[in-house]
Chains A and B, each alone.
Chain A
Amino acid sequence: MKGMGRLFQGAATVDSILRGDLIERAAEAGLRSIFVGFETLAPENLRRSNKRQNLGRDYKAVADRLHSLGIMINGSFVFGMDDDREDVFRRTVDWAVEHGITTATFHIQTPYPGTALYARMQREGRMLTRDWNLFDTRHVVYRPAQLKPEVLKEGYDWANQEFYRWSSIARASLHHGTLKHQAKHFFYASGWKKFEPVWDLMIRMRQLTHVTPLLEGVLSKVTSASAKSKLPVTEKADEILKVAV
């Protein structure tokens, strides 16, 4: 794909990002933003959920490496794992903001039928409902180990609001070294969460395809690379940012 002039987004795991130079190669080929399943900041939770590839990995190193390559991070975090206590919400949001995570997706742990987690919860008599409509990661459908279900729900709501407050978006943007990188973070995060009426209008008008060039602009390179790999769309992004500022 290198040399095909594409810009792309994708997903990856913490350990695959730290492994060899895979992520550098992806960045060269045009990777501009990435979905990363951090899940939890507590090692005990990772051990129990068998997400071993995240164990002992330095999450800060992951964030730093992606930032240095100009790749934006959509971090995914889960609340309510067995080791989580009431401080998990603030600790997680603070970590995400301090490390310049661009957008974050928070979830309430949801044991799906068929998974080992569901089997364990059933064995331990901790499933609270079989109403599948509630299994959307926004409701508490099992009994958490150390949290009251309503505290888990409130903490989840709080985290969503807190991470996307204007002040949090600004603080996370400032994590980046260059003004251009800061601006990109700011517009991507606020565009995603703060411009709901605009999105709704575009959907009603069935005009979502017209947003794609804008998305390509915001996804353009922020790291100074060799002139060879400099993409024409970078100029377009500059124009968009100039107009926006």
Chain B
Amino acid sequence: MIAPGNRPLKAKFILPALTEATDPYWRPIKYSLFPPLGLATLAAYLSQDDCAVIEDEHVQPLTFDDTPDLVIIQVYITNAYRAYKLADHYRKRGAFVCLGGLHVTSLPEEAIAHADTIFLGPGEQTFPQFLRDFRAGAPQRTYISTSGRTLERIPPIRRDLIQRRLYLVPNSIVVTRGCPQHCDFCYKDAFFQGGRGFYTQRVDDALAEINRLPGRHLYFLDDICWAIAASPKLYLKA
């Protein structure tokens, strides 16, 4: 590939629809609750000159005739086939396609057949590393998150890329990663393999994030009590 160097990138982030969101049981409201915060978190690592868009198939029809340089798709188990189809489509159109998420981390050999690069585990450290490698023209096939995981100094989530009016709870927020428990049915141990399985945002960063959210209502998607136990100041600070 030709190294893009510092040329501005066109990056497209996609959350494909979960299969259950399209079956007869579908309750549209249930899939219009929370915006894709993970993708907005990754988008924050782009440079200022780059152009980014997030498309969430649960709330909007996807566009297929665009020509992004970079496509990043979040893969869950029930949108995996859809994600692979979209990945194939964009690779044919000449885009560089990245896949990541719970299902990719569980079954990397299945996902890599449809991707230029895959990401195993959380992306806060590996995605910026990938962007540097990509600009230099030498992206790796696989990025595995291991040691050094932290939420310190991560850039603020790109909430400007989220169309708030399409969601019932645009003010959803995550201040921790992982969980201190090890339930056998949960993805957590597999996803966080090789490094820390539970860590939190700094109190000041969390408060700053909360202050950026308009209105009064918030929805914490992580375990609120563990978050309080880990950083009691968050809840007492006026």
* A interface residues, Cβ below 8 angstroms from B: 1-13, 16-17, 19, 22-23, 25-26, 29-31, 34, 48-53, 78, 109-117, 120, 132-133, 135-136, 138, 196, 199-200, 203, 206-209, 211-213, 215-216, 219, 233
For B181, the closest partner residue in chain A by CB is A53
Question: When the two chains form their complex, are residues A136 and B78 in contact, meaning their CB atoms are under 8 A apart?
Answer: yes
Question: When the two chains form their complex, are residues A12 and B223 in contact, meaning their CB atoms are under 8 A apart?
Answer: yes
Q: Could you say which residues of chain A place their CB within 8 Å of the CB of B105?
A: 114
Q: Could you say which residues of chain A place their CB within 8 Å of the CB of B19?
A: 133, 136
Q: Could you say which residues of chain B place their CB within 8 Å of the CB of A211?
A: 168
Q: How many residues of B contact A (CB 8 A)?
A: 57
* Min C-beta distance of A119 to chain B, whole Å: 9
Any A CB within 8 A of the CB of B208 = no
CA distance A10 to B189 in the complex (A): 22
* Min C-beta distance of B32 to chain A, whole Å: 6
CA distance A187 to B189 in the complex (A): 38
Question: When the two chains form their complex, are residues B217 and A26 in contact, meaning their CB atoms are under 8 A apart?
Answer: no
Question: When the two chains form their complex, are residues B217 and A216 in contact, meaning their CB atoms are under 8 A apart?
Answer: yes
* B interface residues, Cβ below 8 angstroms from A: 18-20, 25, 27-29, 32, 59, 77-78, 80-81, 102-103, 105-107, 164-170, 181-187, 189-191, 207, 210, 215-226, 228-229, 232, 234-238
- Centre residue among A116, A117, A200 by max chain B CB count within 10 A: A116
- Centre residue among A31, A78, A111, A115 by max chain B CB count within 10 A: A115
Q: Could you say which residues of chain A place their CB within 8 Å of the CB of B225?
A: 12-13, 16-17, 19, 22-23, 26
CA distance A5 to B216 in the complex (A): 7
* Min C-beta distance of B26 to chain A, whole Å: 10
Question: When the two chains form their complex, are residues A50 and B165 in contact, meaning their CB atoms are under 8 A apart?
Answer: no
* Min C-beta distance of B59 to chain A, whole Å: 8
